[in-house]
Structure 1
Amino acid sequence: MQVTVEKLVQGGSGFTRLDTNKSLFVDGALPGEVVEVSIDEEKKGYAKAHVVTILQASGDRVTPACPYFGVCGGCDLQHLDSSVQPSIKCQMVLENLQRIGGIKREDFLLEETAFDRPWAYRSRVRFHVDVAKRQIGFLAKKSNDLVPIEQCPILVDSLNELLAKKDRILAGARALMFSTRGKGTRYVEVNAFVGDKDVSLSDEVVTTVVDGHRFFVSANVFFQGNQFLLPAMASFVRSQVKGSTVMDLYSGVGTFSSFLAEEGRLLIAVERQKECLALAKRNVPSLEVYSDDVQLWARKQKRPVDTVVVDPPRTGLEEGLPSLIASWKAQRVIYVSCDSVTLARDLQRFAQQGYTVRSVKVFDLYPQTFHQEVAVVMDREELTL
């Protein structure tokens, strides 16, 4: 079957429509390309396919730099010129905001997309280890098989050095095999994070300085894996905060809180994970930390919040959270998202509470993949008249 690809969509697949108007998602295709495809899966409303032959290639198509591309499941876009990836991802975000969230492009300020180096940027990773075979790598594309690797071009040098020597990762995997965390899995998962002087494996704590702010971090807690762009994202969030009472929801180890802390400002961090909380207290000593259900905080405190910063996992916010935030009379909400699909859904819920999107900024934190980070600034209409 021959098709012409219209655009890239969430997940990194090319998109077009069949003569029946059914959506077709083509793995490995780029916008504007004419390709011969083979159908892999067909459902009532859509079909999935892969490229058999490229009949007319895009001018943005390049030769992937990694020999594991297409086999390893880590990267989606190495066949797309790195220089155009930020704009393509921005278009994905805008489309999701309009299609799912009903938010039109002309209704908000679109900030310039932020990006940095396209390779050797990632300082946080999860290795999969077959201890018996002494193999380390990542899971294969669309399967749970291990792809042993010798080097990954998106990892920073320290992680590739660790990968080449193997011994420390293998020792960490063997230790995890005898713990609860390592049981019942086909491969042992070893988390790694690069600090300024050392590499953390699992729960080892290291330090890293980001734009003058020192953080204590372990590989087992979340911390942004692209520290080249993290200062720009933190700076943007800081520049958008209003008022003297700020809540940092899903605060993690206090990444944003560290940048938002200032004299005269009450900063409340909400985080349930104990490992994160312990590190957050070290990273931002002035934090007022709350570890229970945030609804309980609202009942006890009954104080207004000027700005709420939310940085949830990929699944987005709990359904009732936008209305709860509105009950605090928060004038501004800054939503940092790693998934523009759940983001768009949640923005629609905020709209029902009287919040309007003022600005959107996309950060290309994950070059060579379809993933994007997005910061959205919202104000509540009734409080800004």
Structure 2
Amino acid sequence: MSPPVRERSGANKPAAVVIESLDQEGRGVAHAEGKVIFIEGALPGELVTYNAYRKKSNFDLAQVGEVLRAGFVRVAPKCRHFGICGGCSLQHVDTRAQVAAKQRVLEDDLKHIGKVEPELILPAVYGEAWGYRYRARLSVRYVVKKNAVLVGFHEKRSSFVADMQACEIMPARISRLIMPLRKLVEGLSIRERLPQIEVSLGEDVDVLVLRVLEPLIPQDESLLKAFADQHHVQFFLQPGGPATAYPFYPENALELNYTLPEFDVVMPFHPTEFTQINPSTNRVLVRRALNLLDPKAGERIADLFCGLGNFSLPIARRGAQVVGFEGSAGMVHRAGENAKRNGLARNTQFIETNLFEIDEAWTEQQGYFDKMLIDPPREGAIAAVTSLAKEEIRPRRIVYVSCNPATLARDAGVLVHRNGYLLKAAGVINMFPHTAHVESIALFEKTTSGAKEQK
């Protein structure tokens, strides 16, 4: 039965609804007038009014109007731009409640999409709730009417750049640069031809990559150099795609890298290459993945979607022989260089492969792997899991790291119902606090005799 809906008492008085749950985007879910209402900013148990901004035949999308009865998980947002900036959607929710909601999303997707349930729910992994974002793409917009430059994330549901002065999810030293960056760009000759600043932070250096659509003039160069010296940052210029980014100033820059101290690994990277935006939680994720995988000396282990070696090198450090597969030639080269840098070249190999097109024949050609780690993008790894149809080529253990619970659930269904695996454990990694993004990890183990039904 749907919760009661307060009827409109006047033409201008909005209806009030009771929020039943949160959806996968962190919106409150209610029912009114035969429709489902998805309400941004509303929380379970709350009585709220709402303003619909998109109406369909069977559902409405809305923004919360007035909170008439607040829920117990509601907290005051830390960021002054919350509600306008589109970078975060859940700052009004207690952090523990955020994680609980993400856990429910994972469990629901596994049950309803994959028709599977894990034997064990892993404890959620928490990290720093604020100042965690070490990567960001900030939009830049020169507003002619204001004769001013905006630097920040887009506004919610808009192509406009939010008028930001700070960002609480980026480290304080970078948050403090937003206003100086606005002033810097205002003084450049190419202020209308500089659409983006990419932030990429390492252990010892902070890099700002400027997307430049026209060459700098000498005065621009002087302004950038003075800014870099004053604020201790390094500038890269990017005239084309990500691969065109190159160091501009200072010339003798420090190496951009992150570390995994538990595994004695240093990971150099280029500022436009993919790395996890939350380095402290990434360390915990790698630890959990290796604890589940349990690599041992002498084992042959595949790392699918290996990137620059985030999991490959720690696995190799445990003595296993690792073969990493990755679709980007640049990342394959980077992974190989990182293996050499860490003295792990002898027990690692990295191969460029389009993992969205592999099949059983390809998998057989690679030979038997004792274990496998899969860390795909949002599209998931359906080709990879489908290619394990033959029992003799199935690894006995698979650890699957996911950034999309729906595609994890789909792939889990294939592994369990077609390929003879048990879903032993699954849990969430709160890699992106205050957003609805769900990062998760799952452990699959091969059964001894073909497919086995699992709830």
The answer, yes or no, to whether TM exceeds 0.5 is: yes
What is the Cα deviation at residue 19 of structure 1? 5.5
1:50-65 alignment, distance < 5 Å: 50-65=63-78
2:441 to 351, 355, 375: 375
What is the Cα deviation at residue 229 of structure 1? 1.2
How large is the RMSD of aligned CA atoms in angstroms?
Answer: 2.8
SS of structure 2 residue aligned to 1:277: helix
Alpha-carbon deviations, 1:331-361, whole Å to 9, x = none?
Answer: 2221111111222222222222222211012
1:108–1:358 Cα contact (<8 Å) kept: yes
Cα separation, partners in 2 of 1:176 and 1:336, compared to 1, 3 Å: farther
1:47 aligns with 2:55: no
Distance 1:357 1:300 in 2: 24
Distance 2:300 2:152 in 1: 45
1:194–1:200 Cα contact (<8 Å) kept: yes
Cα separation, partners in 2 of 1:64 and 1:174, compared to 1, 3 Å: farther
1:1-385 alignment, distance < 5 Å: 1-18=15-32, 20=34, 22-104=35-117, 107-130=118-141, 133-166=148-181, 170=185, 188-202=195-209, 203=245, 206-211=256-261, 212-241=264-293, 244-262=299-317, 264-285=319-340, 286=345, 287-294=348-355, 295=358, 298=362, 301-317=365-381, 319-327=382-390, 328-351=393-416, 352-382=418-448
Cα separation, partners in 2 of 1:214 and 1:177, compared to 1, 3 Å: farther
Distance 2:96 2:371 in 1: 35
Cα separation, partners in 2 of 1:24 and 1:167, compared to 1, 3 Å: closer
Distance 2:60 2:182 in 1: 44
Q: Identity of paired residues, percent?
A: 25
1:128–1:188 Cα contact (<8 Å) kept: yes
Alpha-carbon deviations, 1:209-261, whole Å to 9, x = none?
Answer: 22232110222111111112111110111112256111111111110112111
Amino acid at match of 2:354: D
Gaps of 5+ in 2: 1-14, 210-244, 248-254
SS of structure 2 residue aligned to 1:357: strand
Distance 1:161 1:89 in 2: 31
Distance 1:165 1:383 in 2: 64
Distance 1:108 1:17 in 2: 34
2:149–2:183 Cα contact (<8 Å) kept: no
2:257–2:268 Cα contact (<8 Å) kept: yes
Cα separation, partners in 2 of 1:176 and 1:200, compared to 1, 3 Å: farther
User: Structure 1 residues 213-222 or 296-305, which shifts more?
Assistant: 296-305
Alpha-carbon deviations, 1:15-35, whole Å to 9, x = none?
Answer: 133463x43211110011111
Alpha-carbon deviations, 1:281-306, whole Å to 9, x = none?
Answer: 12223220110335389368341112
User: Structure 1 residues 50-59 or 273-282, which shifts more?
Assistant: 273-282
Amino acid at match of 1:361: G
Amino acid at match of 1:79: H
Q: Which has the larger radius of gyration?
A: 2
Amino acid at match of 2:17: V
Cα separation, partners in 2 of 1:263 and 1:312, compared to 1, 3 Å: closer
SS of structure 2 residue aligned to 1:335: strand
What is the Cα deviation at residue 80 of structure 1? 1.0
Distance 1:274 1:176 in 2: 34
Amino acid at match of 1:154: I
1:169–1:190 Cα contact (<8 Å) kept: no
1:200–1:218 Cα contact (<8 Å) kept: no
What is the Cα deviation at residue 168 of structure 1? 11
Amino acid at match of 2:385: P
Amino acid at match of 1:233: L
Please report the TM-score for the alignment, with normalisation by the length of structure 2. 0.75
Distance 2:286 2:40 in 1: 34
Distance 1:225 1:61 in 2: 26
1:163–1:169 Cα contact (<8 Å) kept: no
Please report the TM-score for the alignment, with normalisation by the length of structure 1. 0.87
| Residues matched between the structures, number | 372
SS of structure 2 residue aligned to 1:115: coil
Distance 1:56 1:164 in 2: 37
Cα separation, partners in 2 of 1:370 and 1:219, compared to 1, 3 Å: same
Amino acid at match of 1:210: L
1:331–1:383 Cα contact (<8 Å) kept: no
User: Structure 1 residues 84-93 or 55-64, which shifts more?
Assistant: 84-93
Cα separation, partners in 2 of 1:169 and 1:307, compared to 1, 3 Å: farther
